[in-house]
């Protein structure tokens, strides 16, 4: 079936999750981050994801903002910066203003020019997503931002992927789902979406029962793949 709907994970896919630590490291007063910001960003992201999985399997859901704060607190302690209250506050503020990857605006505009429906499907809470979309200036090329908060469980639970069909009335095989998380692209492939893993770091494929249908190094090839 032709692709009619292109759906994107948000954090790490459209928005650069390392941008907050990178930006803070360049600002006066946060010189302690100069050498450690890459490690902090990596620990923060990994714990953020791990906490979503653990909360999903233990039926202990909370919103993504809480998970983001918990992940940061762990990362700050891991890197020896847990006593830096001003740094914590600044990093959290910057997370609401994450920059999108350079190719994102043109890629989304090209999809809309082809008549595609476009949306975000994210673990992020609605207010966080709206903040990021507004900061990146891409609201006019997105039809919706779908959040797991409407079902109360994190990806890759099928109830999250169900939100796409409920919103757009489309068949599963007419959806192209794009994520920078291999496990997310695999989960969506198992659900029945055509999927792209945006593998910016050239990492190995996760050893899971289902694999992503496609791999790309960035998002520039999405419009050509989504031919309609």
For 47, the token pair is 């714990």
What is the mean pLDDT, run by run of 10 residues, along the chain of 228 residues? 95 97 96 95 98 98 98 97 94 96 98 97 96 95 98 98 98 98 98 98 96 98 88
Could you read off the pLDDT of 71-84 as tens digits, one per residue? 999 999 999 998 88
- Give the predicted TM-score (pTM) of the model: 0.96
Nearest to 150, CA basis, from 160, 165, 164: 160
Active site residues: 9
Return the domain boundaries, the chain.
5-15+99-225, 19-95
Is 3.30.1240.10 the CATH number for 5-15+99-225? no
Dist CA 204 CA 207 (whole Å): 9
**Topology (CATH level 3) of domain 19-95:** DNA polymerase; domain 1 (1.10.150)
Nearest to 9, CA basis, from 206, 176, 201, 207: 176
pLDDT of residue 228: 58
| Angle formed at CA 184 by CA 128 and CA 136, multiple of 5 degrees | 35
Dist CA 199 CA 194 (whole Å): 16
């Amino acid at each position: 079936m032709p692709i009619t709907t292109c759906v994107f994970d948000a954090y790490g896919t459209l928005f650069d999750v390392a941008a907050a630590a990178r930006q803070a490291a360049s600002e006066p007063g946060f010189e302690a981050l100069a050498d450690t910001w890459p490690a902090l960003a990596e620990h923060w992201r990994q714990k953020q994801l791990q906490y979503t999985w653990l909360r999903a399997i233990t039926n202990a859901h909370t919103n993504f903002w809480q998970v983001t704060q918990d992940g940061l607190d762990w990362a700050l302690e891991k890197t020896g910066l847990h006593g830096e209250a001003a740094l914590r506050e600044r990093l959290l503020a910057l997370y609401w203003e994450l920059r999108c990857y350079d190719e994102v605006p043109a890629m989304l505009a090209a999809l809309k020019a082809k008549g595609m429906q476009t949306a975000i499907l994210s673990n992020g809470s609605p207010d966080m997503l709206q903040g990021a979309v507004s900061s990146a200036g891409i609201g006019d090329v997105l039809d919706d931002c779908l959040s797991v908060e409407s079902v109360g469980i994190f990806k890759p639970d099928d109830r999250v992927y169900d939100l796409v069909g409920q919103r757009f009335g489309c068949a599963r095989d007419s959806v192209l789902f794009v994520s920078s998380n291999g496990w997310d692209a695999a989960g969506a492939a198992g659900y029945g979406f055509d999927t792209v893993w945006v593998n910016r770091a050239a990492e190995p494929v996760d050893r899971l029962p289902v694999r992503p249908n496609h791999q790309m190094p960035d998002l520039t090839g999405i419009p050509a793949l989504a031919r309609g």
